[in-house]
A and B are shown apart, each in its own frame.
Chain A
Amino acid sequence: AQSVTQPDIHITVSEGASLELRCNYSYGATPYLFWYVQSPGQGLQLLLKYFSGDTLVQGIKGFEAEFKRSQSSFNLRKPSVHWSDAAEYFCAVHRDSNYQLIWGAGTKLIIKP
């Protein structure tokens, strides 16, 4: 069965520092992978997605993610975080049988001034 693991519940980063959020998936075929961001009390916004092709994908707000099949990973990165990036980040993969998403538990990003 498909599953998504985000090993870090919380990550604290200083403003201006680089960021990497980890995501590992379990999936038999080529996965369709997504990263979403959720600010407190808000819905989820799509940051970026990977379907096929170039394994380094660019998203909104300066984020990027790299698909590594050998490691079953799809880690999210940003070279320099801003205080406004403080939010919860969710990794997700599409199920085989329909268009449902399987979600990770999320990683809460805290920004230190």
Chain B
Amino acid sequence: DTGVSQNPRHKITKRGQNVTFRCDPISEHNRLYWYRQTLGQGPEFLTYFQNEAQLEKSRLLSDRFSAERPKGSFSTLEIQRTEQGDSAMYLCASSFSYGYTFGSGTRLTVV
């Protein structure tokens, strides 16, 4: 068990391009969360999976954002037509019950 793994660690993209991030949770954890964090702020909830089912999505998650967790294992977060306001750290966390284990995050810079 190597914890929660996120790839890539950093991504620089041009405005309008699509990006995809991957999260590999701890294998026995059935819940997976995506958060977004901007500088000087706490994490903002984006979406949540229990096994392969996406149970909740934040209003922050516009239709340009989509997340999947096929087979209840790894998850991907895709942002289409990126905008400069999407620049942030994207954090993934997993849990079995209460309390999360976070990955190191993917820092997205949209130029």
Chain A residues with CB under 8 Å of chain B are: 32, 34, 36, 41-46, 49, 51, 90, 94, 98-101, 103-106
Contacts and interface: CB of A to CB of B under 8 A. Distances in A.
Contact of B102 (A44, A100, A105, A106): A44
15 contacts: A32-B98, A41-B107, A43-B102, A43-B103, A43-B105, A44-B91, A46-B100, A51-B98, A98-B56, A99-B48, A99-B98, A100-B45, A100-B48, A101-B43, A101-B100
A105 B48 contact: no
Interface of B: 4, 6, 31, 33, 40-43, 45, 48, 55-56, 91, 93, 95, 97-105, 107
Contacts of A94: 98
Nearest to B58: A100
Question: Which of A43, A94, A103 is the most central at the interface, judged by chain B CB atoms within 10 Å of its CB?
Answer: A43
A45 B93 CA distance: 11
Given A43-B104, A44-B91, A99-B31, A34 B45 contact: no
